[in-house]
Amino acid sequence: MQPIRLEFGYSRIGCSAVLSERIKRRAAGKVSDMGDIAISRREFVPGLEASRGVAALMVALFHCGQATYFDATRQTPPLVPGSYRSQSYLDAAFRIAGNGHGAVVFFFVLSGFVLMMMLSRQNDDLKGSAGPFLIGRVLRIYPAVFSTIAIFVGLFLLTGMSLGTPAAYSTSNVIANSLLLRTDINGVMWSLQTEMIAAPLIFSLYWSWRQWGSPSLLLPAFVLIGLSFSKEWSGTPGNGVSLGNLYSFVVGMIACACGKTMVARLPHSASLLVLAIAGFALSRPLLGWWSNWSVILETVFAGLITTFIAYGDPLREGRLMAAARYFGRISYSFYLLHALTLIALWNMPALFGKAVSAGIPPIVLALVAFVSSVLVITPLAHLQHAIVERAGARLGRALTWRLRPKLQADALQRG
């Protein structure tokens, strides 16, 4: 995904008043949009980019643990058992490190955090900011979706290999998948459906927050958490639209709005970051992999992690940090394209079974599959990021800047 450019020091009622002051100054013509963007570029947070990269690798590890093998009874269990109660400590550690569902929760929280900041740089007029924001979201999400679907369709036409059934590759269904109306070609795209549904919610809540402050974020968060307990509302990721995680975006917005003030009042932010990471990692082992309470706790801890990284002490630079930041930059394409390796991994139970019969532990096979898949997908993700994602971002900026003069003129006429 794009490097995260962050603009610090703003919130509303009960938080810092910097953003409110900036809004007033911009309305008076004292602050330019270009000036705000320049400030945000100077205040880039490498740690958030790195955390996104770690989350993308967690998803890849999760995928590899799901690969199956033929055991002595010709059953096909996963390489890493799905239940914490029936696995060794090593398997449990693998599942914690490869918590793909938790990684997606973190993506949602981080999206809410970053989009809250992006909106602060838009035109202050409600109608004037809607166009640039929605154009930006569409051109951020869809170009890589189109490219990924094209790759999946090309692979199917050339080899007949796919994650879904051949019927999924009918012309109408390919179009539906490209528009994110369906996700049966590449199942990981269910999260992008949720991202697009969340966009107007985030936009409306930002403007509500501008008017009424923190309660306009807290109340929807609690309402959405309550709705997440409804099966009709939440659905099943990959099998229809899932709305159960919408509150994760709102928690990210709350972290953005109130995080700086909170961190300023708490000592030892580095220690608190470690505790938040531990809480995130242990939520599912302690409460259950599929418990809704686990997801709620993960969301809270993800919000705290984002807050402490963004507003606390900077993370130490180094080779591991540089590697994580690299995967953070290409994480969107990496997330979409890693599913290509599942076409092979999920169709190798006989080969994996022979390896297990030869004495190789299944968890070792999962780790080998993880390393191999990362080596295969990273160059492809790098290319898609460089060619497709950046082109979409450039087009979005160009369209936005073309719209701005007209929107600002309309705002002046209305004023």
**pLDDT tens-digit map of 330-376:** 999 999 999 999 998 888 999 999 999 999 999 999 999 999 999 99
The Cα 56–Cα 61 span in angstroms is 9
Report yes or no on 31 lying in a domain. no
Report yes or no on 42 lying in a domain. no
**Using CA atoms in the order 249, 252, 324, 243, what is the torsion angle rounded to 10 degrees?**
-20
Domain count, the chain: 1
Q: Letter for the amino acid at 81?
A: P
Percent of the chain with pLDDT over 90: 57
Of 298 and 313, the one with more pLDDT: 298
User: Would the pLDDT of 89 be above 90?
Assistant: no
Q: Which residues partner with 236 through β-bridges? A: 239
User: Would the pLDDT of 113 be above 70?
Assistant: yes
CB-side exposure of 167: number of CA atoms within 13 Å? Answer: 1
Q: What are phi and psi of 126, to 5 degrees?
A: -55, -55
> Which is it for the CA torsion 354, 359, 363, 369, positive or negative?
negative
Q: How confident is the model at residue 406 (pLDDT cuts 50, 70, 90)?
A: low
Percent of the chain with pLDDT over 70: 83
Which stretches of 28-97 are DSSP H helices?
33-42, 46-65, 89-97
The Cα 403–Cα 411 span in angstroms is 12
Residue 411: both structure tokens together: 């705002």
Interior angle at CA 27, CA 208 and CA 206, nearest 5: 20
Residue 281: both structure tokens together: 């990692």
Confidence (pTM):
0.86
| 3-class secondary-structure state, position 239 | strand
User: Would the pLDDT of 119 be above 60?
Assistant: yes
pLDDT, residue 118, reads 83
pLDDT, residue 268, reads 81
User: Would the pLDDT of 81 be above 90?
Assistant: no
User: Would the pLDDT of 30 be above 60?
Assistant: no
The Cα 42–Cα 6 span in angstroms is 9
Report yes or no on 271 lying in a domain. yes
Q: What is the mean pLDDT of residues 246-268?
A: 92
Residue among 54, 47, 97, 101 at smallest CA distance from 307? 47
User: Would the pLDDT of 297 be above 60?
Assistant: yes
Report yes or no on 19 lying in a domain. no
Report yes or no on 283 lying in a domain. yes
Q: What is the mean pLDDT of residues 249-256?
A: 96
Q: How confident is the model at residue 299 (pLDDT cuts 50, 70, 90)?
A: very high
Report yes or no on 156 lying in a domain. yes
Tokens 């995928």 map to which residue?
63
Report yes or no on 34 lying in a domain. no
User: Would the pLDDT of 409 be above 60?
Assistant: no
Report yes or no on 3 lying in a domain. no
Start-to-end C-alpha separation, the chain:
38
pLDDT mean across residues, the chain:
84
pLDDT, residue 384, reads 97
**Using CA atoms in the order 54, 58, 61, 62, what is the torsion angle rounded to 10 degrees?**
-170
User: Would the pLDDT of 170 be above 70?
Assistant: yes
The Cα 355–Cα 230 span in angstroms is 43
Q: How confident is the model at residue 398 (pLDDT cuts 50, 70, 90)?
A: confident
Q: Give me the domain span that covers residue 90.
A: 48-414
* Range among 89-103, 228-242, 295-309 with highest mean pLDDT value: 295-309
**pLDDT tens-digit map of 187-209:** 999 999 999 999 999 999 999 99
